[in-house]
Structure 1
Amino acid sequence: MSQIKKEMMALVGACVSEGTKVLAPSEFNSEFKKIITAKFDIFNEDSEEKYDLIIEDKPTDYIKIYQKLNDKGVYITTAESLADKALFENLSKMFYIVLPYYYIEENKIYPLVFASKKPHPTADIIRHRSDFVENTYYYHTDIHLASFVMPKYIFEEIKNFIKM
């Protein structure tokens, strides 16, 4: 997995989620250490915990994920495209906010999806976290905010499947 992808999945989630309990694959562990204003409890294997942030490289069981999140939990995963209507529609049945976002690597756009029970990825960004992320290759506060901006034609195609 690329450094850019890891940063955009872990740091976008961690800079919006108010809490610090994270369920993520071990390859994400070092990303959370880049946020110098918070210490994260990272779980690489599922337990009976409730989590503030869950990251999956590929989407799995949405209902199980939803149940494992606390009442302000955030879920980050990949999407097939920025117009992955089936994924957005399924997540929208459970989550309050469902929005695609992306990162650019080697002149290609790679889609991700942000789903949450409460926080909005741009309106609720925690600036005292996002502004104090060190030693990144790609991520910074402005890229975080810009990654959720979609061209009008994509927005028009997905507006009935996402939740803002």
Structure 2
Amino acid sequence: MKTFIYPEMMTHVAMCTHKNPRTVMVLSTQSDLLKTEMARYRDTESVYADTNDLLNGLREQADKSTDVLLLDTLSDDSAVFAHANRILKEDALMVCKHPALDDVSANTKLMQILGNYFKIIMPYHLEDGSTLLLCSKEYHPTADLILQRSDLLEGHQYYNCDVHIAGFAMPQYVRKNYLGIIRN
């Protein structure tokens, strides 16, 4: 996969879905790639932490202090998501890695944990067939897409508003496998 696709899709799907993202926390071992994309949002304050110390990175943040959380790691630890929920504002959203969609049991476990905190839980595709998971307390990633924001961003090699919406299209077998688990 081209190295620019992942950071663009992790960052801009979230940032162009949230109505007014002002505070972003990025937990990643690839912070440099995500910093480049976050730099496009001049009115946003970003905090970066390494995923090697995931729980401490979350523990250090104040309650209800974050609009968007970009979690660049795979976790099914309920403590991680309890702390994530604690730092997220009432209308916040999170993007995170998750097991391949073919692993229904692992995703079911993860999505059930996330279901305790988020109204909307939807996977979206990257070019290589992998997916990320958008979890939102309020905003729907296709219904609430901020078209003006996505159209005004410059310098992308992959992301645009059409790719944003298309990423959420799932084949019927995925819909059937995750009926009642994916929340959209």
TM-score (norm 1): 0.89
Q: How does 1:127-146 map to 2 (within 5 A)?
A: 127-146=147-166
Q: How does 1:86-101 map to 2 (within 5 A)?
A: 86-101=109-124
Please state if 1:151 is matched with 2:153.
no
How far the C-alpha of 1:131 sits from its partner, in A, is 1.2
Please state if 1:31 is matched with 2:46.
no
Same amino acid, percent of matched pairs: 26
SS class of match (1:29)? helix
Please state if 1:48 is matched with 2:49.
no
Q: Distance between the aligned counterparts of 1:70 and 1:96, measured in 2?
A: 13
Q: Distance between the aligned counterparts of 2:71 and 2:95, measured in 1?
A: 6
SS class of match (1:109)? coil
Q: How does 1:73-88 map to 2 (within 5 A)?
A: 73-82=92-101, 83=104, 84-88=107-111
Residue in 2 aligned with 1:64?
A: 83
Matched to 2:182, the amino acid is I
Q: Distance between the aligned counterparts of 2:174 and 2:140, measured in 1?
A: 20
Matched to 2:88, the amino acid is L
Which ranges of structure 1 fall in alignment gaps of 5 or more residues? none
User: How many aligned positions are there?
Assistant: 159
Q: Distance between the aligned counterparts of 1:140 and 1:34, measured in 2?
A: 14
Runs of 4 or more, structure 1, over 3 Å off, are none
Residue in 2 aligned with 1:9?
A: 10
Matched to 2:67, the amino acid is D
Q: Say whether the 8 Å CA contact 1:34–1:136 is kept in structure 2.
A: no
Indicate the larger mover: 4-13 or 56-65. 56-65
Residue in 2 aligned with 1:118?
A: 138
How far the C-alpha of 1:142 sits from its partner, in A, is 0.3
Looking at secondary structure, tell me which structure has more helix per residue: 2
Q: Distance between the aligned counterparts of 1:161 and 1:2, measured in 2?
A: 31
Which ranges of structure 2 fall in alignment gaps of 5 or more residues? 50-56
SS class of match (1:148)? coil
RMSD: 1.7
Matched to 2:166, the amino acid is A
Q: Say whether the 8 Å CA contact 2:74–2:99 is kept in structure 1.
A: no
Distance 1:59 1:73, change over 3 A: farther
TM-score (norm 2): 0.80
Matched to 1:135, the amino acid is G
